[in-house]
Amino acid sequence: MGMNENALKVLVVEDSKVTIKVLLNYLRRMGINHPLVAESGSDALEICRNERPDLILLDAQLPDIDGFDVARNIRALEDSVDWTAIIFLTSKNTDDDLARGIDAGGDDYLMKPVSEVVLHAKIRAMQRLVGMQRELVLVTNELNSANKELLRLSTMDGLTGISNRRMYDDYGKREWRRCERMKQPISLVLVDVDHFKLFNDQYGHQAGDECLKSVASQVAKIGQRPTDLVARYGGEEFVLVLGETSADGARWLASRLCQKIAELNIPHHAASTRHVTVSCGVASVIPDDDRSLDVLLKSADRALYRAKAAGRDRVVVCDYGQAIVVV
């Protein structure tokens, strides 16, 4: 029974037209009707770069590049999951020649003149190996995709769809180091939904979830630069990581966020404003060895506490020191 011509992409590298014709006849009787052909090593490498054959029948002696060097170059083209089966064709049969071929990256060895029966058997064997390799690549790709999805889910807040506390912990440290290298300021904004417990008590937890989703959407729109991170820090609290951003810039963004949340006009009759508002605590610093992200977060948390104590629906800035209320 002939093999499926689409099952294996074969490249014949041979400078003898007579040998090429014999090999093509053998391959045709095996069901491989359209093999690739190269009569020099340079042509073979070009075809490998463009076509990525599954199996190469490679003459060990070529007019321009030694067949063993061709094999080494082919192996250099492959990545960690690529593999091309290489069968050397040669008239030399010493142990040294065999060892040289294997060392160069060959998988098998065929003596000239090539026996059709032996060639058929070796191609069948290589076809099984190619099939196993394809399955391995498929499984590896599926595993990589699954791992990426697991990582995405593990760093995403299930309710709001934005990043979670774990992502903040990882990303915040990286952004801190980046700003330290660049000697640029980094700012944190802690955002808290005002009187959220009262909101839940009056409207129910389902309405509370919808409220958090709406607030998260607005927070995400504020932190839109590629280097910004918006995360749900916990409960009704959110955090923005703003690299290369001064205290003034972070304060402006936080004030704009307060305005945008108020414009949502989500009813909250238990609050004096009669609609949902947020309070924001801002802290900023230029990172160095004597400072830390944890202290910066505590400064932002202290600023947030001052904002709530001052009447909520406002921004307080704390630059690693005393808080200043900004209404």
Answer yes or no: is 56 within a domain.
yes
Q: What is the pLDDT of residue 320?
A: 66
Core vs surface per residue 261-297: b (16+ CB within 10 A) or e: beeeebebeebeeebbbbbbbbbbbebeeeeebeebb
pLDDT: which is higher, 319 or 163: 163
Residues 76 and 207 in one domain: no
Residues 175 and 111 in one domain: no
End-to-end Cα, the chain, rounded Å: 84
Q: What is the pLDDT of residue 224?
A: 85
Per the structure block, which two tokens stand in for 306? Answer: 């001052």
Per the structure block, which two tokens stand in for 304? Answer: 């947030």
At residue 322 the predicted structure's pLDDT band, cuts being 50, 70 and 90, is low
Residues 42 and 131 in one domain: yes
Q: Taking 60 as the threshold, does the pLDDT of residue 324 lie above it? A: no
Residues 248 and 139 in one domain: no
Residue 40 sits in which domain range? 10-149
For residues 83-88, give the mean pLDDT: 90
Q: Facing residues of 315 across strands?
A: 280, 326
Cα separations in angstroms, 299 against 52, 118, 176, 281: 57, 77, 15, 8
Domain boundary among 116, 149, 182: 149
Domain boundary among 149, 180, 196: 149
Q: What is the pLDDT of residue 93?
A: 72
Per the structure block, which two tokens stand in for 112? Answer: 């000239």
Q: What is the pLDDT of residue 157?
A: 93
Residues 181 and 98 in one domain: no
- For Cα atoms 299, 196, 164, give the angle at the middle one, nearest 5 degrees: 60
Q: What is the pLDDT of residue 325?
A: 46
Residues 105 and 59 in one domain: yes
Q: What is the pLDDT of residue 81?
A: 65
- For Cα atoms 178, 179, 185, give the angle at the middle one, nearest 5 degrees: 165
Q: What is the pLDDT of residue 98?
A: 77
Answer yes or no: is 160 within a domain.
no
Residues 205 and 259 in one domain: yes
For residues 18-23, give the mean pLDDT: 93
Give the whole-angstrom CA distance, residue 258 versus residue 249: 14
Give the whole-angstrom CA distance, residue 263 versus residue 272: 16
Q: How many C-beta atoms lie closer than 10 Å to residue 54's C-beta?
A: 20
- For Cα atoms 67, 71, 72, give the angle at the middle one, nearest 5 degrees: 120
Q: Are 60 and 103 within 8 A, CB to CB?
A: no
Answer yes or no: is 62 within a domain.
yes
Q: What is the pLDDT of residue 327?
A: 43
Answer yes or no: is 1 within a domain.
no
For residues 223-241, give the mean pLDDT: 94
Residues 94 and 234 in one domain: no
Tell me: the pLDDT tens digits for 37-46? 999 999 999 9
Tell me: the pLDDT tens digits for 165-213? 999 999 999 999 999 999 999 999 999 999 999 999 999 999 999 999 9
Q: What is the pLDDT of residue 150?
A: 74
Q: Are 88 and 61 within 8 A, CB to CB?
A: no
Domain boundary among 114, 149, 184: 149
Sign of CA dihedral 194, 196, 201, 206: positive
Answer yes or no: is 31 within a domain.
yes
Q: Taking 60 as the threshold, does the pLDDT of residue 22 lie above it? A: yes
Give me the phi and psi of 226, to 5 degrees please.
-55, -30
Residues 252 and 179 in one domain: yes
Residues 33 and 169 in one domain: no
pLDDT: which is higher, 223 or 281: 281
pTM for the predicted model, two decimal places: 0.60
Give me the phi and psi of 268, to 5 degrees please.
-150, 80
Distance of CA 327 to the CA centre of its chain: 42
Q: What is the pLDDT of residue 300?
A: 95
Least confident range of 37-41, 123-127, 188-192, 234-238: 123-127
AA letter at 313: D
Tell me what the pLDDT averaged over the chain comes to.
Answer: 89
CATH number at residue 109: 3.40.50.2300
Residues 189 and 136 in one domain: no
Q: Taking 90 as the threshold, does the pLDDT of residue 314 lie above it? A: yes
User: Phi/psi class of residue 204: alpha, beta or left (left: φ > 0; alpha: ψ in -120 to 50)?
Assistant: left
Answer yes or no: is 2 within a domain.
no
Answer yes or no: is 4 within a domain.
no
At residue 233 the predicted structure's pLDDT band, cuts being 50, 70 and 90, is very high
Domain count, the chain: 2
Q: What is the pLDDT of residue 1?
A: 41
Residues 193 and 312 in one domain: yes
At residue 6 the predicted structure's pLDDT band, cuts being 50, 70 and 90, is very low
Per the structure block, which two tokens stand in for 134? Answer: 């394809």
Q: Are 194 and 279 within 8 A, CB to CB?
A: yes
CATH number at residue 277: 3.30.70.270
In terms of Cα–Cα distance, which of 306, 263, 261 is closest to 281? 306
For residues 58-65, give the mean pLDDT: 90
